[in-house]
Amino acid sequence: MAKNRDNCIILLVDPPEADKISAELKTAFGPERAAHVNSDLMSAAYKLAKNFGDAILILSYAKTARHPDLTWLDPEDPGFLEVKNHNYEDRLQDAFRLAFFTGAKKAVFISHLSPELKEEWLYQAFDAVNDKTVALGANQDGSHYLIGLSQQNLKIFETPGFSHGKSVEALSERAKKNKLAVAPTPEAYSITGEESLLKWMESKETLPPLFQSPQAAQAAQEHKKHSRRHGKTQENPAQPPENPGV
Q: Are residues 69 and 119 in the same domain?
A: yes
- Of 168, 217, 215, which Cα lies nearest the Cα of 188? 168
Tallying the residues shown for the chain, one arrives at 246
- Asked if residue 115 belongs to a domain, the reply is yes
pLDDT in tens, 192-221: 999 999 988 887 755 444 444 445 445 545
* HSE-up (13 A, CA, CB side) for residue 218: 3
Q: Are residues 102 and 204 in the same domain?
A: no
pLDDT in tens, 102-152: 999 999 999 999 999 999 999 999 999 999 999 999 999 999 999 999 999
pLDDT reading at 224 higher than 80: no
- Asked if residue 200 belongs to a domain, the reply is yes
Domain boundary, last residue among 188, 207, 223:
188
Q: How many domains does the chain have?
A: 2
Give the per-residue pLDDT at 167: 96
Q: Are residues 202 and 184 in the same domain?
A: no
Give the per-residue pLDDT at 11: 98
Burial of 90 from C-beta contacts in 10 A (0-12 / 13-18 / 19+): middle
Q: Rounded CA gap, 133 and 214, in Å?
A: 45
Q: Are residues 182 and 205 in the same domain?
A: no
Q: What angle do CA 63, 64, 65 make, to 5 degrees?
A: 135
Q: Are residues 116 and 198 in the same domain?
A: no
Q: Are residues 207 and 119 in the same domain?
A: no
- Asked if residue 2 belongs to a domain, the reply is no
Domain coverage including residue 210: 193-246
Q: Are residues 102 and 217 in the same domain?
A: no
